[in-house]
A = this chain, B = another copy of it.
Amino acid sequence: MKIEEKLGLKIKQLRNEIGISQEELAYRCDLHRTYISSVELGKRNISIRNIEKIALALNVEIIELFKKGTIDGN
């Protein structure tokens, strides 16, 4: 699995854990919902600043986004 796919799954997992929609996450990040969708699908070579924005919006440290163990076991 590619790094951007692992990261996307983790973002999706954390977003689901706090029970917010892609739209709400996008709003909190000041990014577009379709961008969040493509990030979660692992289709974006996301930059560190956008990774930071998403971490802040999910209320986690960036390091949490790179810890092993998603709902898919990766």
Contacts and interface: CB of A to CB of B under 8 A. Distances in A.
A45 B62 CA distance: 15
A67 interface: yes
Contacts of A51: 3, 48
Size range of the chain A interface in the assembly: 10 to 19
A46 B45 contact: no
B63 A4 contact: no
A47 interface: yes
A2 to B, nearest CB: 8
B45 A45 contact: no
Interface of A: 3-4, 7, 45-49, 51-52, 61-63, 66-67
